[in-house]
Amino acid sequence: MKINTKVIYSFVIFVGVTYWSCTKKLQPEAKSGHQINKGWDRNQYFPTGIKSIKDSITSVSFFQTARPFYLEMKDSRSKKCLDMLQRARNEQSLVNIRLEGNSGKIVEVKFSAKQSNEIFRRSVNITRKK
């Protein structure tokens, strides 16, 4: 029995393309078009002007409840904010985070609760904005 090599090549290419397209769809993406991968690097996925959360981000808001919860990195850590993050992490939910840099550029990114917890853990000080 002779096996046609064109059929085998076609099948291999088909499987490869299908696998590639399926894995691309599974990755969450930020609204700005920057991809958030599992090994999240806090300095990698922001547009120009927003490079480091510690140095450049001036305000952060994250939307876990119906009402936006605005946070500023200025005075002291807000217990309410940390409680909300803990609850989000327990529920394994996604958190929308709005980052605003010194340049005025804004980006909204959807993070997993674990990633958002890392953002707030590394940021200096967080308080509730009035």
Closest to 123 (Cα-Cα) out of 45, 43, 16, 48: 43
pTM confidence score = 0.24
What 8-state DSSP symbol labels residue 42? Answer: T
Euclidean distance between CA atoms 116 and 95, whole angstroms: 7
pLDDT in tens, 44-95: 444 333 334 443 344 444 444 444 444 444 333 445 555 555 555 555 555 5
